[in-house]
Structure 1
Amino acid sequence: MPVSEWLNACVLHRRPYRETSYLVDFFTLESGKVSAVAKGVRNSRSERKSLLQPFQPLRIQLSGKGELKNLTLMEGTSNAYPLTGFNLFCAMYLNELINRILQPDLPVSDLFAVYQRSLIALANLSHGGTQDAQIVLREFEFALLAEMGVLVDLSVTTDLGCKVDPSEYYMFDAEQGLTLASPNYPQKLPGSHILAVVHKNWSIEALRIAKFVNRLALRPLLGDKPLKSRELFTLS
C-alpha cells in the first residue's frame, strides 16, 4: 500500500501493543477493514492519541506490505459523532460486528456508507429513542448480511419459492432459510409480520422478528464467541 494514499476511516477497536504503541483496527472506505500499529502514541498526550478513538472520522495513511500495516499519518476530518448511553452501545455493537465478520483488505464501499449513515442516525436520536435505534441496528445487519452474500429473501420461502402469505406461519433457520412452520414448531413467525420486515414497516413485532432472524443468520459468521457489546445492553 503506497504511503501517499489517503484512506477515509473510523477506528473499530484499539488495544495496547508492546510498551508504547497501539494495535488499531480501522474500517475504511477504500480498503475495508485494515489493522495497523500506531507507534509511540500510547503514553503520550498528543493529538494522534486523542484521534484514535472509535466514531472519530479520520483520514489516514498506512505503510507496509503485510496484513499488519504501520500508521504513518492521520488527521481528523470532522468532530467525533456525539454518541452516549444506549446509542453508544448500539454503535459499539456495529463496530464489533464489522471487526468480527469482515475479512481484512476487502473493499466494501457500500457497507461503509451504510455504517456512516448509521452512526449519524444514532448520534441524532434522543436518549429515549430505543425503538428508532433498533431500526438502525436491524437495517445495518441486513446490509452486512447482503455484503457477505448470505441475505435471505424473506418475501418467499426458500424450499418452494412460494410468496409469503400474511395468514400463514413460518420458521427460519440459517441453513434452511424461510419455510412453512410445522404444527408443533415453538417459534412460529407470522407471515404478516415477516412482510412488514420486507417492506420496512417497523412495528414492534416486525423489529422483534428481524432481530430473531438476523441473530440466527449472523451466528455462522460470528462463531461461538459471544459478542462483548451485547453484554452492555443487558447492563443498561
Structure 2
Amino acid sequence: MNTEWLNAYVLHRRPYRETSYIVDFFTLEEGKVSAVAKGVKNSKSDKKSLLQPFQQLRLQLSGKSDLKNLRHVESVRPSVSLTGNALFCAMYLNELTNRVMPAELASDGVFYAYTDALTALRDVSDVEATLRQFEFALLDEMGLLPDFTFDVEYELPIVANERYNFQPDAGFIKLPRDYTVIKGIPGEALLALSEGAFTPLSKKVAKVLCRELLKPLIGDKPLKSRELFTQK
C-alpha cells in the first residue's frame, strides 16, 4: 500500500462504469497519473467536490498498474476562480499538459510553471504572455525549446537588426540581407524572448514558434479548448 502523498492538479475526468470516474492528475512527484475514483460519481462526498480542475490537491494512490486507485484526496488551497478568456486559457493548459506530457514523467519545471500560469490567469490581464511562458516550460522539458540567443549556422550571437529563419530540428539561421523583401524573424524579437520580455513583436513571434513546435507533440486531433476560442 503506497502511503506517499502527492501534490497534484486535476487535468481531466471522465465517467467510469456506473458510479466512478477515471481522473487524470498532474503531480509534482510522479508526473501525469490516471486513477479510478470509486463510488463518487453520484455522491455528494467531499472527494467528488475536490475532483475539479484548477485546485491544488494532495492525494494518495494505490495499485501497481498504469491505472491507479484514488485512496485519499484533500485540498491544499482553494480553487483558482477563473472566468471568460482566462477560463478558456486554463482549459487549454490542462488539455495541452494532458496531451503532451508523457505518463509518469515528473517535472518540477512544468509543475511550477503550471501553478504560476493559473495564478497569472487570475491576476494578470496579459494572457498571451502567460500561455507562451507555460508553453516554453513544456517545450523545454521535451528538449525542443530553441536557443533564442544563438545562430546555429554561423555559430554567432543573434543580432537585433538581423533577420532569421527558424528550422525546428536545428534552430535560428541568419538570412542574407535583402531590404527589398522583409521576411524572417527579427533578431530583436528573439533577444527579447531570451530575456523573458514579451513585447508586441516578440509575442507574435512566440505564438508562431510555439504552434510549430507543439504541433508534432499534440498530433492531428484538434484541441477542444482551441475550438471553444473559435466558437467564442
Using the size of structure 2 for normalisation, the TM-score is 0.93
Mapping for residues 151-230 of structure 1, pairs under 5 Å = 151-181=145-175, 188-230=184-226
1:217 counterpart letter in structure 2? L
Residues 43 and 151 of structure 1, relative CA distance in 2, 3 Å threshold: same
5+ long unaligned stretches in structure 1: none
Instruction: Give the distance between the partners of 1:186 and 1:6, measured in 2 at CA.
Output: 55
**Which residue type is aligned with residue 117 of structure 1?**
D
Amino acid at match of 1:76: S
Residue 160 (structure 1) shift: 2.8
Give the C-alpha shift of residue 11 in structure 1.
Answer: 0.0
TM-score between both structures, scaled by the size of structure 1 = 0.91
Count of residue pairs brought into register by the alignment:
230
C-alpha RMSD of the superposition: 1.8
Q: Give the distance between the partners of 2:39 and 2:181, measured in 1 at CA.
A: 57
2:188 match: secondary structure: helix
Match of 1:54 in 2: 53
Is the contact made by 1:173 and 1:216 (CA closer than 8 Å) also made in structure 2?
Answer: no
Q: Which residue of 2 aligns with 1:82?
A: 81
The whole-number CA distance in structure 2 between the counterparts of 1:222 and 1:160 is: 32
Equivalent residues in 2 for 1:26-37, closer than 5 Å? 26-37=25-36
Residue 26 (structure 1) shift:
0.2
* 1:112 pairs with 2:114: no
Cα deviations by residue, 1:86-145 (Å, 9 ceiling, x for unpaired): 1111111111111111111111122211111111111123xxx2xx11111111111111
Contact 1:164–1:195 (CA under 8 A) maintained in structure 2:
yes
2-structure distance, mates of 1:175, 1:228: 28
CA distance in 1, matches of 2:15, 2:111: 26
